[in-house]
Structure 1
Amino acid sequence: MAEFLLSKCLDILFDRLLSSDLLKFARLEGIREELDKWRKTMTIIQRVLDDAEEQQRTEKTVKDWLDDLRDLFYDMEDLLDEFATEALHERKLMAGESQASASMMFL
C-alpha cells in the first residue's frame, strides 16, 4: 500500500517540477539549478523504490524508510505548492501593472 502512495506522490512531484509556470518562476528566482537537482534525486529515488517495494513486505526498517520518504514527498509537495502560488501572484501583479499602464494611456 505504501509503495502505491509513494509512486503517486512521486508522479505528482515530477509533474509539478516540470510545470512551465514553476520553471519560469525558478528561473526568475535563481533556483532552477536546485529544482534540477531535485528532479535528478527523485529519479534515483524511483529506482530505489522499485527494490524497496519488494523488501518492505519482509523488512520493517524498509517499511519505516518508505514511510519517512512519503513524509518527505508531502513536504516537497507543499513547498512546490508555495512556489506555484508565488508564481501565480507574480503573474497577477504583472498583469495588473500591464492593465494599469494601458488604462493610463487612455486618460
Structure 2
Amino acid sequence: MAEAILYGVTQTIIERLGSSTLQQIGSIWGVKAKFEKMKNTVSTIQAILQDAEEQQVHNLQVRDWLMKLRDAVFDADDLLSEFSTHVLRQRVMGVIESCTLLD
C-alpha cells in the first residue's frame, strides 16, 4: 500500500519535470539537463518499486531501503513544489510590476 503511494508521488514528479513550464524555466536558468537527469532517475526508481515491494516481505534490507527511498522521494517532491511555487511567485510579481508601470 505505501509503495502504491510512493509510485504515485514518483509519477507526479515525472509529470512535473516533463511539463512545458518547467522545461522552459529549466532552459532559461540553465538547469534543464538537471531536470532531465532527475526525471530519468525517478523513472528508474519507479520501475524498481514493484519488485522491491514483493521482496520487502522477506528481506529487511529491502524494507529499510524502501523507507529511505520514500523519504528521498518525498523530499524531491517537496523541493520541486517549492521551486514551482517560486517560479509562479516570480511570474505573478512580474505581472504586477508590469501593470504598475502601465498606470
Q: How many residues align?
A: 103
For 2:49, the aligned partner's letter is L
Select between 12-21 and 63-72 the one with higher mean Cα deviation: 12-21
Higher relative contact order (CA 8 A, sep 6+): 1
2:97 aligned residue:
97
Please, which runs of 5 or more residues in structure 2 have no aligned partner? Answer: none
2:79 aligned residue:
79
**How many angstroms apart in 1 are the aligned matches of 2:17 and 2:85?**
14
DSSP 3-state at the match of 1:57: coil
1:13 aligned residue:
13
- Computed over aligned residues only, the root mean square deviation of the Cα atoms, in angstroms, reads 1.5
Please, which runs of 5 or more residues in structure 1 have no aligned partner? Answer: none
1:37 and 2:37 equivalent? yes
**How many angstroms apart in 2 are the aligned matches of 1:30 and 1:96?**
25
> Percent of aligned positions with the same letter in both sequences?
38
Normalising by structure 2, report the TM-score.
0.88
2:4 aligned residue:
4
**How many angstroms apart in 1 are the aligned matches of 2:8 and 2:45?**
13
**How many angstroms apart in 1 are the aligned matches of 2:89 and 2:24?**
13
For 1:11, the aligned partner's letter is Q
For 1:67, the aligned partner's letter is M
Alignment of 1:48-63 (within 5 A): 48-63=48-63
